[in-house]
Chain A
């Protein structure tokens, strides 16, 4: 099998070709998305300076290192738990086990979003909403965009849990889970960029 995390079996020749096409197509989509994030990063970098901050609060004033650390750990762990779910699927360990680990991943995803939402609320509370400055606009353009992706991922997990129940582990469900996995890991990868460029580099300035 070419793609770890999926096991359609030898006798599914055509389904297998189709799965490959779907997965490759999804990779291409992710790369297009990567450009979107990359440009948001670039814009952020060009605005993270005194002119962009326009006398408003800077990174040091508004970011909460501890909370970001917690979010980072949650997201990283969720990558691992998704990985375990993929392995359970690949080794045909049964629907229950896959659903269990997907559920754990979903819980972690929601936890991440919860902490993130709390941070956002705090920022608004201290007058650091997007309307305050160009710098904050860039922040609010980039980080919530990632959060939006994670929310989409969570909805997707829910949809897949339902489909696993209604359809069983048929090939198309498996390929969808496979793509969901790519999406989830990809978001963690973007987060590496975010905590490095936005939070760590910002707080240490």
Chain B
């Protein structure tokens, strides 16, 4: 073997010229410099994180308390951290794109190639590695608490799901340092992403990051659904579950049934690229339209997967901060189910212009418009919940208000786009970009941010700083409005999406407005980071360890903040919908019992991390054609799995004494604390114990 052969054998097609940093040194044009700088930032960021953890001497704690933990709460937090890191990259890319297009009349500063890479990574990251992990994270943390469970049904599988999601994110990040990501957009349509037109590693990065993360999501879905079916506390019937749990159930159904089309589509594309199959090629009987169909069989349910939990969060937030029971609970449940099922019936509206007959188009157009009905039901239910409530304009409520106003606009433009004849006019313009950001940002992102602010004190035992939260929320709302509302106009004027530059001067002012909006969004993100920093710094002042800072209504507030590993010292006996509110009203809350029992919890395991590492190597190996490494990684995964099934000692028992001691200590602190009224809930005095207020006291006295 010559040395050339050895390097190819060892490193596949990875060589020096595939490193952006090397390219920036070779030909320092602006586009290359930006790419090189991005690679440097990733490397420097990684080094900084490593140094920081070493400085904190936190490696051991990181490993035992976090990475190997099977606790749904820790896993949930890790999902959220991953999402926020990725969101930073996504937003920076968005601002870069906005800057490019603002300067687009004179050609801008990026090559079209680089611009294409930016919208592809931005879209892929925002959907798969920001929105999805945030959703998974919040669900992980909150859902078991709300149904009165001790953990997920399958804690180890939960860890593996996180590992696989992280793998996908790491692969996307690696593409900044090694080679280039796809330029084929987040949907990666062949034949453009096929081998004939795109032989480089880009589409392979897309395929493997999305496919691997997608498998993790499917497993999450199974876990969530089974947990809701099997782990509810005694008395927690399905129709006593908080609405958030209903939306989680529907979301997990979508995860279970809508991820397979994505898996199939990505693996078929991989078969085309790696094994010379002809599913989607131009020649030899391939049919690229099959890909489009499969992708949107996944893609449409996906957006509902994201937005349903946001609806759930909004239901919780609105009820809590209006001090009222959720209006129209049953109708909200049925509306959620209707949306979940309908979301499987409308996928064709993403390719009205592909060439099928008008009859097919109109069938799917009508089905799409139908979704507006249950969504409308929800909006009215939320408004009715607020009606005559004592509304407190806390940070979550500011986000929710932004949601109400802006999301309805996004929904309306959706109904407009559901009309095939209109789609023929605005297809592939920025009108569409405005529409989907208009539902995703005010819908999904605002909903999740509201949830994070709402539940943060539960997870960490202190509230987030209110002032910075308001700044951030308002910046998000106005930033979004400036960044995207102009795009409706410019889209109607005919500016195509995904174009690096344009030559109609009329677009220019609107693009500048959009850039201004993007800058506001970036500062909103900065304000969020500052808020977290300030809150951590002032955590003693903001502490609310007693567990109920917002006069909450559902079971998660009946635990200390943060809750112990086993969540509930004694499994709650649920008697009512909004059980904690009812318990507080008739004095059942904070009760001590005689019958503490031993609790068995799953032990830590390294399986998730092993699989994450092996899957990451597998992804890299496949992208770079390093076959020995690919085989080795697959083998590692299989062996790790099988070896795990030979370990029987996977749980440990917490003795009843310890539990009663911890629980009673908390109860004593609750008894000693003085409850506060709602007008002081954002002051330092809020230790997490609430005075009972209307209408619950009324109900109890009646």
**CA A113 to CA B148, docked complex, whole Å:** 47
Q: Are A24 and B279 in contact (CB under 8 A)?
A: no
Q: Are A56 and B285 in contact (CB under 8 A)?
A: yes
> Which A residues from 107 to 142 make CB contacts under 8 A with B?
130-138, 140-141
Q: How far is the CB of B189 from chain A (nearest CB, A)?
A: 16
Q: Does A202 contact B (CB under 8 A)?
A: no
Q: Are B256 and A28 in contact (CB under 8 A)?
A: yes
Chain A residue at minimum C-beta to C-beta distance from B268: A141
Q: Does A69 contact B (CB under 8 A)?
A: no
Residue in B225, B261, B279 whose beta carbon sits within 8 Å of that of A35 in the complex? B261
- Per DSSP, chain A at the interface is helix
Given the interface pairs A24-B229, A43-B290, A130-B278, the reply to whether A31 lies near B256 with Cβ below 8 Å is yes
Q: Are B218 and A47 in contact (CB under 8 A)?
A: no
Q: How far is the CB of B433 from chain A (nearest CB, A)?
A: 29
Q: Are A166 and B277 in contact (CB under 8 A)?
A: no
**CA A51 to CA B285, docked complex, whole Å:** 6
Residue in A32, A46, A137, A167 whose beta carbon sits within 8 Å of that of B277 in the complex? A137
Q: How far is the CB of B139 from chain A (nearest CB, A)?
A: 16
Q: How far is the CB of B451 from chain A (nearest CB, A)?
A: 26
Chain A residue at minimum C-beta to C-beta distance from B154: A25
Q: Does A159 contact B (CB under 8 A)?
A: yes
Q: Does B594 contact A (CB under 8 A)?
A: no
Q: Does B251 contact A (CB under 8 A)?
A: no
Given the interface pairs A130-B276, A131-B277, the reply to whether A25 lies near B285 with Cβ below 8 Å is no
Q: Are B264 and A39 in contact (CB under 8 A)?
A: yes
Residue in A28, A53, A132, A163 whose beta carbon sits within 8 Å of that of B646 in the complex? A163
> Which A residues from 1 to 53 make CB contacts under 8 A with B?
17, 20-21, 24-25, 28-29, 31-33, 35-36, 39-40, 43, 46-47, 51-53
**CA A31 to CA B259, docked complex, whole Å:** 12
Q: How far is the CB of A155 from chain B (nearest CB, A)?
A: 8
Q: Does A189 contact B (CB under 8 A)?
A: no
Residue in B260, B285, B290 whose beta carbon sits within 8 Å of that of A36 in the complex? B260
> Which B residues from 242 to 256 make CB contacts under 8 A with A?
256
Q: Does A176 contact B (CB under 8 A)?
A: yes
Q: Are B271 and A137 in contact (CB under 8 A)?
A: yes
Residues of chain B contacted by A132 (CB below 8 angstroms): 278, 284
Q: Which of A47, A166, A172 has the most CB of B within 10 A?
A: A47
Residues of chain A contacted by B263 (CB below 8 angstroms): 36
Residues of chain A contacted by B153 (CB below 8 angstroms): 21, 25
Q: Does A54 contact B (CB under 8 A)?
A: yes
Q: Does B456 contact A (CB under 8 A)?
A: no
Q: Are A137 and B646 in contact (CB under 8 A)?
A: no
Given the interface pairs A28-B225, A32-B218, A43-B279, the reply to whether A159 lies near B259 with Cβ below 8 Å is no
Chain A residue at minimum C-beta to C-beta distance from B222: A28
Q: Are A163 and B645 in contact (CB under 8 A)?
A: yes
Residues of chain A contacted by B154 (CB below 8 angstroms): 25
Q: How far is the CB of B549 from chain A (nearest CB, A)?
A: 33
Residues of chain B contacted by A176 (CB below 8 angstroms): 645
Chain B residue at minimum C-beta to C-beta distance from A130: B277
Q: Are B287 and A47 in contact (CB under 8 A)?
A: yes
Q: How far is the CB of B428 from chain A (nearest CB, A)?
A: 25
Residues of chain B contacted by A31 (CB below 8 angstroms): 256-257
**CA A35 to CA B222, docked complex, whole Å:** 14
Q: Chain A 177-188, CB within 8 Å of chain B: the 1/0 string?
A: 000000000000
Interface size class of A (residues with CB under 8 A): 35 or more
Q: Does B354 contact A (CB under 8 A)?
A: no
Residues of chain B contacted by A54 (CB below 8 angstroms): 278, 283-285
Q: Chain B 623-649, CB within 8 Å of chain A: the 1/0 string?
A: 000000000000000000010011010
Residues of chain A contacted by B290 (CB below 8 angstroms): 43, 46-47
Residues of chain B contacted by A56 (CB below 8 angstroms): 284-285
Given the interface pairs A28-B225, A39-B264, the reply to whether A141 lies near B279 with Cβ below 8 Å is yes
Q: How far is the CB of B590 from chain A (nearest CB, A)?
A: 29
Q: Are A137 and B261 in contact (CB under 8 A)?
A: no
**CA A16 to CA B272, docked complex, whole Å:** 46
Q: Are B285 and A53 in contact (CB under 8 A)?
A: yes
Q: How far is the CB of B70 from chain A (nearest CB, A)?
A: 15
Q: How far is the CB of A53 from chain B (nearest CB, A)?
A: 6
**CA A76 to CA B287, docked complex, whole Å:** 35
**CA A133 to CA B285, docked complex, whole Å:** 5
Chain A residue at minimum C-beta to C-beta distance from B272: A137
**CA A52 to CA B153, docked complex, whole Å:** 45
Q: Are A130 and B645 in contact (CB under 8 A)?
A: no
Given the interface pairs A28-B226, A133-B278, the reply to whether A47 lies near B285 with Cβ below 8 Å is yes
Q: Are A21 and B230 in contact (CB under 8 A)?
A: yes
Q: Are B284 and A40 in contact (CB under 8 A)?
A: no
Q: Does B45 contact A (CB under 8 A)?
A: no
Residues of chain B contacted by A52 (CB below 8 angstroms): 285, 287
Residues of chain A contacted by B260 (CB below 8 angstroms): 32-33, 35-36, 39
Residues of chain B contacted by A170 (CB below 8 angstroms): 648
Residues of chain B contacted by A167 (CB below 8 angstroms): 648
**CA A51 to CA B226, docked complex, whole Å:** 44
Residues of chain A contacted by B285 (CB below 8 angstroms): 47, 51-54, 56, 133-135, 137
Chain A residue at minimum C-beta to C-beta distance from B279: A137
> Which A residues from 144 to 186 make CB contacts under 8 A with B?
159, 163, 166-167, 170, 172, 176
**CA A67 to CA B535, docked complex, whole Å:** 70
**CA A166 to CA B648, docked complex, whole Å:** 11
> Which B residues from 282 to 309 make CB contacts under 8 A with A?
283-287, 290, 294, 297
Q: Are B230 and A24 in contact (CB under 8 A)?
A: yes
Residues of chain B contacted by A135 (CB below 8 angstroms): 285
Q: How far is the CB of A40 from chain B (nearest CB, A)?
A: 7
Q: Which of B226, B283, B285, B287 has the most CB of A within 10 A?
A: B285
Q: Does B672 contact A (CB under 8 A)?
A: no
Q: Are B645 and A40 in contact (CB under 8 A)?
A: no
Q: Does B275 contact A (CB under 8 A)?
A: yes
Q: How far is the CB of A29 from chain B (nearest CB, A)?
A: 6
**Other than the known A54-B278, A137-B285, what 11 A-B pairs have Cβ atoms closer than 8 Å?**
A29-B222, A35-B260, A39-B294, A43-B294, A46-B287, A51-B287, A52-B285, A132-B278, A133-B278, A134-B281, A137-B278
Subset of 20 A-B contacts with CB under 8 Å: A20-B230, A25-B153, A25-B223, A32-B218, A32-B221, A32-B222, A32-B257, A35-B261, A36-B264, A39-B261, A43-B264, A51-B285, A51-B287, A131-B277, A133-B284, A134-B279, A134-B281, A138-B279, A163-B646, A170-B648
